[in-house]
Amino acid sequence: MGASNAGRTAALILLMALRLLLDSADPHAWAEWLPTGLFRGVTTNPTLLRRAAQPCRLDHLAALSAQALDLGAQELHLQAWGADLLACGRDLAQLAPGRIWVKLPITQAGAAAARALIAEGWPVTFTACYEPAQVLLASALGADYIAPYLGRIGDLGRDGHAELRQMQRIVASLGPAAPHRQPLRLLVASLRSPDDLARLAAEGLNTFTISPEIAAALFAVEPTLAAAAQFERDALGA
């Protein structure tokens, strides 16, 4: 295999690699899970900040971002808010250039802000995706990620797994929005159980943001825990 082919293969493997992000604004959860090495980073939004009793203010997000980066986060996805999404997005991106992805809703206002941010070189994640066609908008604008809400799609009486598979086929068919850019990634959000994660991974989806509760559930497999306990008893001759 030539050097150029080897390089392309390595890039493809990197592109396909599993990415997990922790969906939480709780610094205690970050301190528990980021050092494990399982998570590439953190996703937050004003709702998660409120639930974690964290103020949704730029100065406070600056302090929180520093904490997450110190704990090893490579990416922080912070959601812009307010009447001027572009100005807020710029302020967020500048907290840690190259490490912060500005989250914007996939609305007309969000798309306008995203276009300007992407043109300036700031990375963007679209959020609140409920329809496969919205993936086309994110790809056309050159976003890095779009976050479909699996569980909430199911709450609407639709087959969320089927729609996520359709979104993934759209992503695969489109490729990068521009030369030298990585293709759009589906950042699957609103997972309700480890089974959601396993089922979608089996279909080729590879980027997920999961709650600390689901992270804990991945390790709470009773037969595995029982086997581990038996190993310890046997090691002691009990």
Angle at 228 between CA 222 and CA 232, to 5 degrees: 140
* pLDDT given at position 17: 81
Distance CA 46, CA 35 (A): 24
Under DSSP, the state recorded for 91 is H
| Ramachandran angles phi, psi of 81, nearest 5° | -145, 170
Sequence-distant (≥ 6) Cβ neighbours of residue 210 within 8 angstroms: 20, 21, 22, 23, 191, 197
Q: Provide the β-strand partners of residue 101.
A: 77
Radius of gyration of the chain from its Cα atoms, rounded to whole angstroms:
19
Instruction: Characterize the bridge pairing of strands 41-43 and 100-105.
Output: unpaired
pTM of the prediction?
0.90
SS (H, E, C) 102-169: EEEECCHHHHHHHHHHHHCCCCEEEEEECCCHHHHHHHHHCCCEEEEEHHHHHHCCCCHHHHHHHHHH
Q: Which two tokens stand for residue 231?
A: 């190993």
In three-state secondary structure terms, 21 is: strand
Q: C-alpha dihedral over 119, 64, 18, 207, to 10 degrees? A: -60
Give Cα 232 distance to the centre of its chain: 37
| 77: exposed, middle or buried (Cβ count in 10 Å: 0-12, 13-18, 19+) | buried
* pLDDT given at position 12: 42
Q: Which of 169, 128, 130, 177 is nearest to 153 (CA)?
A: 130
**8 Å CB contact between 95 and 65:** yes
The tens-digit pLDDT sequence of the chain (238 residues) is 344 454 444 444 344 589 999 999 999 999 999 999 999 999 999 999 999 999 999 999 999 999 999 999 999 999 999 999 999 999 999 999 999 999 999 999 999 999 999 999 999 999 999 999 999 999 999 999 999 999 999 999 999 999 999 999 999 998 766 666 678 999 999 999 999 999 999 999 999 999 999 999 999 999 999 999 999 999 998 6
* pLDDT given at position 224: 96
